[in-house]
Structures are given as structure tokens and as C-alpha cells.
Amino acid sequence: MGRKVYDISKKGDGWAVKGRDNERASIITNTKTEAINAAAQIGRNNGNAQVVIHKKNGQIQSERTYGNDPYPPKG
């Protein structure tokens, strides 16, 4: 089974946590920190997930992986 990918992005006055395969956001929060914490919890519960955190302008800020990473980096 592949990794489930969740994106955190700006939505209106808040921040949305949305699965890549989903049409709608799973969670909408008031702050980016709340969205990151919620996505981290989802990732831990899923067991094999990646969270992609975006800046306000949509650029990728950082990524986090939870569970067993099928492609660990060497070194």
C-alpha cells in the first residue's frame, strides 16, 4: 500500500488539511500550527502518510513522513 499524502494550504481566513485524493478538506483550522498538528495526528493514525506543508503563496515549505518510509534515504 502506498503512502497517503495530505496537503496543508491556505484557505480563506484559515488553513486546510486535505488528502490528495479527496475533493474536500478533511479539516479547516484557524492557524497553520493547528493544521500541522491535526495533519500530524492523522499521519500517525494512518501509519503510512506524508504531510506537505505549503506557504501562503502555495509553494512547498516542508514535508513530513509518518510510519514506514518505503524509500529511506541513504547515508
Higher pLDDT, 23 or 69: 23
> Is the residue at 72 inside a domain?
no
Is the distance from CB of 56 to CB of 39 less than 8 angstroms?
no
Q: Global pTM?
A: 0.85
> Is the residue at 30 inside a domain?
yes
- Counting the structural domains of the chain, the total is 1
> Is the residue at 75 inside a domain?
no
* Residues of the domain holding 30: 4-67
> Is the residue at 73 inside a domain?
no
pLDDT of residue 9: 96
> What digits encode the pLDDT tens for the residues 12-60?
999 999 999 999 999 999 999 999 999 999 988 887 889 999 999 999 9
pLDDT of residue 66: 87
